[in-house]
């Protein structure tokens, strides 16, 4: 009997397994491939993912292979900037840069290797899902196959992280909601020994380094993206034109002319050229019984803001802390019904933003492109568009959040704290579980008194902001939200705020259906 069975051990499944391992959940991970896919696929993640790696004790393993970059640039048909989403020189309220690029085979190796430290996590490679059965109140019976030998195992929960062609989703007959974006693109990965060549672009901010930006060329002759990977890895994405054959465009004789303007005589090696259809799809059901879809099994997004893998990592972070509460007897199983309630609108909003960008990026008519350029510049100048990638991520609107309170559902800040050994990010010092930040000692004491009535195993760390060496960052956050206390969830989203610690904890207990024993 397993607590959790995870199907698929790409980055999403592997993070889920690490989080389950740390939570003490007895976990089985199956992956049909014996070895990680050797070529790059996903390349971008943001500050929130780095924080998840902190929570899973993985940050030291992965940070050395991340390339910290400076945001996004959209260039119009006239080679002028239409939208700049740069972060150079800006504050990092969440503790990390907003944009990182990585090499997926390296990342997967790190995430899988880390599982070795958990006796409660079993990884079966070369093993496929074949079928499952579930009945009310019973564990999921999962049939898996390794080298033709079938085996049935039981698990309280199943997390399907088995990709866009998810066998589990198909087995459960879950339909996809099509957001009506479907465009063919050619993706080219290369190792490049030198800076990429760009045309003369006007309107660039003085401090912007184009080699450090993800650059979207909104050229009606052929839209293209140039991405700064880690090390000497670079990626290009070229929109295919209506009369082009996707299979033919992957051939070296067709790839070379596309790359020549960017590389010229710069030494380089083409690592991969593959065509994809950029989709916008969301599963109509993310949960069926005790089986949950996560990552590409649940949603697929056009890559224009690099949020595809980020969505999946958010999915499993959302699931695992709720499973841990149930495992410890601190919440009813019904809390998992908040998974889709929280994640679907969140994902839908970000994918819709990517689709909107994709629609203006993919304009192939020169007159429409000129009108597009003027429109985007006007919107950007008037503040109608997000100024950074972080700005496209909305707060949670439902679920385990006190939605009527200021700041509820936002990602909480992570300031640096002064310690005897120097500056440390807050989560490294305070941990990544439930936290209540209080504006003063009196409110902190009120919180401790209230928590004395709670089950001992429900650990909420209470922090008096007046004793926190964070240069006043959290006190300023509370003042901005007109509150004196804030509760932060294990996934670093704000549960809610209030002036009274007792009131806020009462709301949390109610939201979790937590039974509180009165003190005698």
- Could you tell me if 425 and 321 lie in one domain? no
Tell me if 175 sits within 8 A of 284, measured CB to CB: yes
DSSP symbols for 1-68: -EEEEEE--SHHHHHHHHHHHHHT--EEEEESSSS--SS----EE-HHHHHHHHHTT-HHHHGGG-EE
Tell me if 400 sits within 8 A of 412, measured CB to CB: no
Domain termination residue (choose one: 335, 350, 365):
350
CA gap 68, 58 in Å, rounded: 17
CA gap 98, 107 in Å, rounded: 18
- Could you tell me if 52 and 164 lie in one domain? yes
- Could you tell me if 44 and 154 lie in one domain? yes
CA gap 514, 65 in Å, rounded: 41
Averaged pLDDT for residues 48-58: 97
Tell me if 460 sits within 8 A of 450, measured CB to CB: no
What tens digit of pLDDT does each residue of 135-145 get? Answer: 988 999 999 99
CA gap 313, 410 in Å, rounded: 17
Averaged pLDDT for residues 353-361: 93
Confidence of residue 518 (pLDDT cuts 50, 70, 90): low
Joined tokens for residue 140: 């999921």
> Domain tally for the chain?
2
- Could you tell me if 40 and 158 lie in one domain? yes
What tens digit of pLDDT does each residue of 73-97 get? Answer: 999 999 999 999 998 888 899 999 9
What tens digit of pLDDT does each residue of 466-510 get? Answer: 999 999 999 999 999 999 999 999 999 999 999 999 999 999 999
Averaged pLDDT for residues 331-340: 96
Instruction: Report the Cα–Cα distance between both ends of the chain, in Å, rounded.
Output: 39
- Could you tell me if 345 and 426 lie in one domain? no
Domain termination residue (choose one: 350, 377, 402):
350
CA gap 57, 286 in Å, rounded: 27
Joined tokens for residue 515: 């039974």
Joined tokens for residue 499: 């002036």
| Domain residue limits at 452 | 416-511
**pLDDT, position 37:** 86
Q: Which residue has the higher pLDDT, 36 or 214?
A: 214
Averaged pLDDT for residues 286-297: 98
Domain termination residue (choose one: 292, 316, 350):
350
Q: What is the CATH number of the domain that holds 500?
A: 3.40.30.120
- Could you tell me if 343 and 486 lie in one domain? no
Give the residue carrying structure tokens 């503790």. Answer: 95
For residue 252, is it within any domain? no
Q: What is the CATH number of the domain that holds 315?
A: 3.50.50.60
- Could you tell me if 326 and 425 lie in one domain? no
- Could you tell me if 425 and 323 lie in one domain? no
- Could you tell me if 14 and 121 lie in one domain? yes
For residue 227, is it within any domain? no
> Does the CA dihedral 163-165-168-169 come out positive or negative?
positive
Q: Rounded to the nearest 5°, which phi and psi values hold at 463?
A: -125, 125
Look over the chain and give the mean of its residue pLDDT values, rounded to a whole number: 95
- Could you tell me if 345 and 420 lie in one domain? no
**pLDDT, position 520:** 40
Tell me if 161 sits within 8 A of 7, measured CB to CB: yes
Averaged pLDDT for residues 338-359: 96
For residue 153, is it within any domain? yes
For residue 70, is it within any domain? no
- Could you tell me if 130 and 25 lie in one domain? yes
Give the residue carrying structure tokens 């390349």. Answer: 43
CA gap 176, 284 in Å, rounded: 6
Joined tokens for residue 205: 């901010």
What's the residue count for the chain?
A: 520
Beta bridge partners of 282: 177, 299
- Give me the sheet containing 233-239, strands edge to edge: 81-86, 71-75, 214-217, 224-228, 233-239, 176-192, 268-283, 299-300
CA gap 214, 195 in Å, rounded: 14
Q: For residue 395, how many other CB atoms are within 10 A of its CB?
A: 15
**pLDDT, position 517:** 65
Q: Is it the case that residue 248 has pLDDT exceeding 70? A: yes
Contacts 24+ apart (CB under 8 A), 243-247: 244/184, 246/184, 246/186, 246/275, 247/275
Averaged pLDDT for residues 240-259: 96
CA gap 498, 485 in Å, rounded: 5
Averaged pLDDT for residues 209-234: 95
Tell me if 121 sits within 8 A of 128, measured CB to CB: no
Q: Three-state SS string across 461-496, please?
A: EEEEHHHCCCCCHHHHHHHHCCCCEEEECCCCEEEE
- Could you tell me if 18 and 157 lie in one domain? yes
Averaged pLDDT for residues 200-205: 95
Averaged pLDDT for residues 50-66: 96
Confidence of residue 516 (pLDDT cuts 50, 70, 90): confident
What tens digit of pLDDT does each residue of 166-194 get? Answer: 999 999 999 999 999 999 999 999 999 99
Please name the residues in contact with 56: beta carbons below 8 A apart, sequence gap of 6 or more. Answer: 15, 18, 19, 22, 114
Query: pTM of the full predicted structure?
Result: 0.96
**pLDDT, position 90:** 85
Averaged pLDDT for residues 390-413: 96
Q: Three-state SS string across 313-333, please?
A: HHHHHHHHHHHHHHHCCCCCH
For residue 52, is it within any domain? yes
Percent of the residues in the chain that have a pLDDT greater than 90, as a whole number: 91
Averaged pLDDT for residues 117-127: 97
**pLDDT, position 351:** 95
For residue 375, is it within any domain? no
Q: Is it the case that residue 133 has pLDDT exceeding 70? A: yes
Q: Is it the case that residue 519 has pLDDT exceeding 70? A: no
């Amino acid at each position: 009997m397993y607590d959790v069975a995870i199907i698929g051990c790409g980055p999403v499944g592997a993070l889920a397994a690490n989080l389950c391992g740390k939570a003490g959940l007895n976990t089985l991970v199956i992956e049909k491939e014996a070895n990680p896919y050797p070529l790059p696929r996903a390349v971008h993640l943001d500050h929130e993912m780095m924080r998840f790696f902190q929570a899973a004790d993985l940050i030291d393993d992965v940070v050395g292979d991340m390339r910290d970059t400076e945001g996004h640039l959209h260039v119009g048909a006239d080679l002028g900037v239409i939208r700049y989403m740069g972060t150079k020189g800006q504050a990092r309220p969440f503790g990390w840069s907003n944009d990182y690029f990585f090499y997926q085979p390296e990342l997967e190796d790190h995430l899988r290797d880390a599982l070795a430290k958990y006796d409660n996590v079993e990884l079966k490679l070369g093993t496929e899902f074949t079928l499952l059965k579930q009945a009310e109140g019973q564990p999921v019976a999962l049939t898996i196959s390794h080298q033709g030998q079938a085996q049935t195992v039981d698990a309280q929960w199943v997390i399907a992280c088995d990709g866009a062609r998810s066998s589990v989703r198909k087995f459960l007959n879950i339909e996809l909601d099509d957001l009506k974006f479907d465009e063919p693109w050619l993706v080219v990965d290369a190792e490049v020994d030198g800076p990429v060549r760009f045309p003369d672009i006007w309107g660039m901010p003085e401090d912007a380094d184009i080699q450090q930006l993800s650059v979207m060329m909104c050229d009606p002759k052929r839209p293209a993206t140039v991405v700064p990977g880690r090390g000497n890895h670079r990626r290009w994405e070229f929109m295919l034109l209506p009369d082009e054959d996707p299979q033919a465009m992957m051939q070296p004789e067709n790839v070379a002319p596309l790359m020549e303007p960017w590389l010229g005589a710069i030494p380089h090696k083409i690592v991969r050229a593959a065509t994809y259809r950029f989709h916008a799809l969301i599963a109509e059901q993310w949960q069926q019984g005790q089986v949950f879809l996560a990552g590409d099994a649940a949603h697929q997004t056009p890559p224009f803001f690099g949020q595809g893998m980020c969505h999946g990592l958010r999915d499993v972070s959302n699931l695992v802390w709720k499973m841990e509460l149930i495992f410890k007897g601190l919440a009813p199983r019904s809390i998992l019904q908040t998974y889709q309630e929280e994640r679907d609108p969140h994902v839908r909003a970000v994918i819709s933003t990517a689709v909107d960008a994709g629609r203006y990026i993919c304009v192939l008519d020169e007159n429409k492109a000129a009108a597009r350029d003027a429109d985007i510049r006007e919107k950007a100048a008037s503040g109608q568009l997000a100024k950074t990638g972080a700005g496209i991520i909305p707060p949670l609107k439902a679920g385990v959040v006190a939605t009527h309170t200021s700041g509820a559902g936002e990602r909480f800040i992570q300031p640096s704290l002064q310690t005897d050994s120097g500056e440390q990010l807050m989560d490294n010092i305070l941990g990544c579980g439930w936290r209540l930040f209080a504006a003063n000692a009196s409110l902190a004491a009120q919180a401790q008194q209230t928590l004395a009535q709670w089950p001992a195993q429900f650990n909420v760390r209470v922090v008096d902001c007046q004793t926190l060496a964070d240069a006043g960052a959290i006190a300023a956050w509370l003042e901005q939200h007109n509150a004196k206390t804030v509760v932060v969830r294990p996934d670093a989203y704000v549960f809610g705020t209030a002036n009274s610690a007792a009131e806020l904890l009462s709301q949390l207990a109610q939201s979790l259906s937590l039974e509180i024993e009165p003190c005698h």
